[in-house]
Amino acid sequence: MRTCPQLLPPRCDEMFGWFEANEVIAFNNQAVEILPQWRLFSTESGDLVDAVVPFMGESITDGTLAKFLKNPGDRVELDEPIAQIETDKVTIDVASPEAGVIQKFLAKEGETVEPGTKIAVISKSGEGATHVAPSESAGEKAASPPPPAEKVEEKQKPKAEAAPAAEKPKAPSPPPPPPPKRSATEPQLPPKDRERRIPMTRLRKRVAARLKDSQNTFALLTTFNEVDMTNLMKLRSDYKDAFVEKHGVKLGLMSGFVKAAVSGLQNQPIINAVIDGDDIIYRDYVDISIAVGTPKGLVVPVIRNAENMNFADIEKEINTLAKKANDGSISIDEMAGGTFTISNGGVYGSLLSTPIINPPQSAILGMHSIVSRPMVVGGNVVPRPMMYIALTYDHRLIDGREAVFFLRRIKDVVEDPRRLLLDI
């Protein structure tokens, strides 16, 4: 019987490399049996640890190993990302459980992995890692000795013997058959070497499936209106410096539209509702989803309880969520839910579009680019900064009357923001 030198029983597992399984040891003058399952992390010396896929969310059961951020032989620190897992909604990092050197990978890029899957082995001491630099492999090839002269002669002899046979005259070969004539209606396809085939990302496949489900499920209808942006743009121009000085963020146009949408949803609560079987669920809160285009695909982070937020709160939240969406650090919880969506295609120069509803919501507001157009104001034709706005809605739940009234409320509030102050 031997004595465990550690102070606490849970820490004895790090010392079990020098104990045998099922051996009885003394700990605090009590006999303790060493069970085989206590020997964590695979090696007898306790030097190797496994990097495993973390929990990815309640509704996510697997993901695709998108890429490794390190190579075998690279040094990693504790909690340093070594790989990225791409799911239907977000990209998740696999962090190193210990500081050490990556010994080998247990999975390949492109494989489907589940939470708990081992993808890499890390050596805490850095021993046993295999990593050959390109320069080293090239040097080994250059340093390898040339083949013996005898073997070179043996390889050349068959060629010399075959030379006389090659001198025999050959019968003239028949001319190649002419290429088949294409009919006038047959399409001329481009050569395959001018095409590239790349697998769709899980996020792109998820977005495609949801948008197609939206078209198949909802009775989609879109109504339009136009907004004179003069007053909202003047408000931003007059107070942008004071706004930044006090709140630390820039005053944008999106906060004005969020506040206008909140007012419209409160005036027309059916647009904030959703169909559930044979029932209609009315929500007494407003969670606004903001569609954000990222290099990996479309994500829709949510501004929670927008009805209780002012312009500064909304701008700060939009700033934070947009940064997370673009750098891939946004979480599933920050995109879950939402009662109404705003999509701003105007930032890309879109003049007019018909947005598709974000399931399971019932409507989506589309913003577009601001264009100076001649408008009749007070009997005179003057240039005005105008924006087309579109509301796509589920006609099973929302009638045209409610949709038009909602867009009209958006127009009234944006064109005269003082209505928000006076609640009229």
Higher pLDDT pick, 22 / 190: 190
Token pair for 39: 């020997």
DSSP three-state, residue 302: strand
DSSP three-state, residue 195: coil
What CATH number does the domain located at 49-120 have?
A: 2.40.50.100
pLDDT of residue 384: 96
pLDDT of residue 169: 55
Residues 6+ apart with CB under 8 A from 344: 254, 257, 290, 291, 367
Catalytic residue among 399, 412, 416, 423: 399
pLDDT of residue 179: 61
Q: Report which residue type is found at 187.
A: P
Q: Where are the domains of the chain?
A: 49-120, 218-421
Higher pLDDT pick, 376 / 207: 376
Q: What is the mean pLDDT of residues 356-375?
A: 95
229 alpha-carbon distance from chain centroid: 33
pLDDT of residue 185: 62
Q: Is 93 a catalytic residue?
A: no
Higher pLDDT pick, 379 / 185: 379
Query: Which of the residue ranges 32-46, 150-164, 291-305 has the most confident prediction, judged by mean pLDDT?
Result: 291-305
pLDDT of residue 205: 83
In this structure, the dihedral spanned by the alpha carbons of residues 275, 280, 286 and 291, taken in order and rounded to 10 degrees, is 10
Q: Are strands 340-344 and 363-377 parallel, antiparallel or unpaired?
A: parallel
Residues in the chain: 424
Question: pLDDT tens digits, residue range 198-232?
Answer: 888 887 888 888 888 888 889 999 999 999 999 99
> Does residue 196 register a pLDDT over 90?
no
Q: What is the mean pLDDT of residues 342-347?
A: 93
Least confident of 10-24, 374-388, 403-417: 10-24
Taking alpha carbons only, the member of 313, 295, 312 closest to residue 304 is 313
> Does residue 176 register a pLDDT over 80?
no
| 0.75 exceeded by pTM | no
SS (H, E, C) 52-67: ECCCCCCCCCCEEEEE
pLDDT of residue 264: 96
Q: Is 131 a catalytic residue?
A: no
Q: What is the mean pLDDT of residues 362-376?
A: 96
pLDDT of residue 325: 85
> Does residue 366 register a pLDDT over 80?
yes
Least confident of 1-10, 200-209, 402-411: 1-10
> Does residue 323 register a pLDDT over 50?
yes
Architecture label for domain 218-421: 2-Layer Sandwich (3.30)
**Comparing 49-120 with 218-421, is the CATH topology the same?**
no
Half-sphere exposure of 201 (CA within 13 A, CB side): 18
pLDDT of residue 180: 61
pLDDT of residue 188: 66
Question: pLDDT tens digits, residue range 67-105?
Answer: 888 889 888 988 888 898 888 777 888 888 888 899 889
Instruction: Find the helix or strand (DSSP H, E) in which 400 lies.
Output: helix 400-415
Q: What is the mean pLDDT of residues 304-318?
A: 95
CB atoms within 10 A of CB 421: 7
pLDDT of residue 18: 40
pLDDT of residue 189: 67
Higher pLDDT pick, 246 / 138: 246
Q: What is the mean pLDDT of residues 231-251?
A: 94
> Does residue 162 register a pLDDT over 60?
no
Cβ 335 vs Cβ 291: under 8 Å? no
Q: Could you write out the DSSP letters of every residue in 237-293? A: HHHHHHHHHHHSS---SHHHHHHHHHHHHHHSGGGG-EEETTEEEPPSS--EEE-EE
pLDDT of residue 312: 95
Least confident of 136-140, 247-251, 275-279, 376-380: 136-140
The secondary structure of residue 16, as a DSSP letter, is G
Q: What is the mean pLDDT of residues 115-141?
A: 63
Give dist(CA 4, CA 328) in Å, integer: 46
Average pLDDT value over all residues in the chain = 80
pLDDT of residue 172: 62
Catalytic residue among 74, 395, 412, 416: 395
pLDDT of residue 382: 96
Question: pLDDT tens digits, residue range 20-47?
Answer: 444 444 444 455 444 443 333 333 447 8
